[in-house]
Amino acid sequence: MNQSYPVRSLFSSLLVEAAKPVRRRIFISYHHKHDQAYYDTFSTTLHDQMDLVFDNSLDRQIDSENHEYVIQRIRDSFINNTSCTVVLCGPETQQRKYVDWEIKATLDKQHGLIGICLPTALRNMQNQTIVPVRLASNYHSGYAVWKTWAELVANPRAMTSWIEEAVARDKAKIVNPWEIKSQNG
């Protein structure tokens, strides 16, 4: 009796399982007041590619002014079970303390970090997008991935590869020395 058929069948099943793409859990950080429509489009378009896309207005969920406590809660309750944080960068994103805290918690956990430049993002005199300092410093260090909304709209399936790229980046390139943003604006 030939025993190789069950082994070959099991091996084939394992190869099929291994070939399935990983459905990453991601956290989305954005300014709810100005960028909710972009989040809604992002979530609707990409919900099949990701295991879970979080929509949490954390300032209403974590009722505390103690930023260390809030960052710990963000890290433990929201960032902990994810692979990557995507920051939707609109006109006031760089001014939001919760966005800063979410990026800090992401970097503390050494998770992937992606910035998406929205069409509404502000630019400085050198025509550079104005983004949260933590995101900018990690992009310049080579740790964070930076993409535009136009790139995402042109090819939504690319998001999966961007997440894998972000997760694989060298953790030694993380830059996180900045003061914690204590207030918006």
> How distant, in Å, are the alpha carbons of 22, 30, 44, 73 from that of 40?
23, 11, 6, 24
Q: Tell me which residue has tokens 């399936």.
A: 157
Identify the pLDDT of residue 14: 55
Is residue 158 helix, strand or coil?
Answer: helix
In three-state form (DSSP H/G/I as H, E/B as E, the rest C), the secondary structure along 37-67 is HHHHHHHHHHCCCCCEECCCCHHHHCCCCCH
Identify the pLDDT of residue 179: 87
Structure tokens belonging to residue 30: 């954005």
User: What are 76-98's pLDDT values in tens digits?
Assistant: 888 888 999 999 999 999 999 98
Angle of helix 133-140 relative to helix 97-108, nearest 10 degrees, comes to 40
Nearest to 30 by CA among 127, 124, 108, 131: 131
Q: Round to whole Å and give the CA distance between 79 and 96.
A: 18
Return the CATH class of domain 21-173. Answer: alpha beta
Residue spans per domain, the chain: 21-173
Identify the pLDDT of residue 83: 93
Identify the pLDDT of residue 160: 92
Q: Round to whole Å and give the CA distance between 110 and 105.
A: 9
Q: Tell me which residue has tokens 């805290």.
A: 101
On whether the CB atoms of residues 159 and 165 are closer than 8 A, the answer is no
* Spans of the chain below 70 pLDDT: 1-22, 51-63
User: What are 114-129's pLDDT values in tens digits?
Assistant: 999 999 999 999 999 9
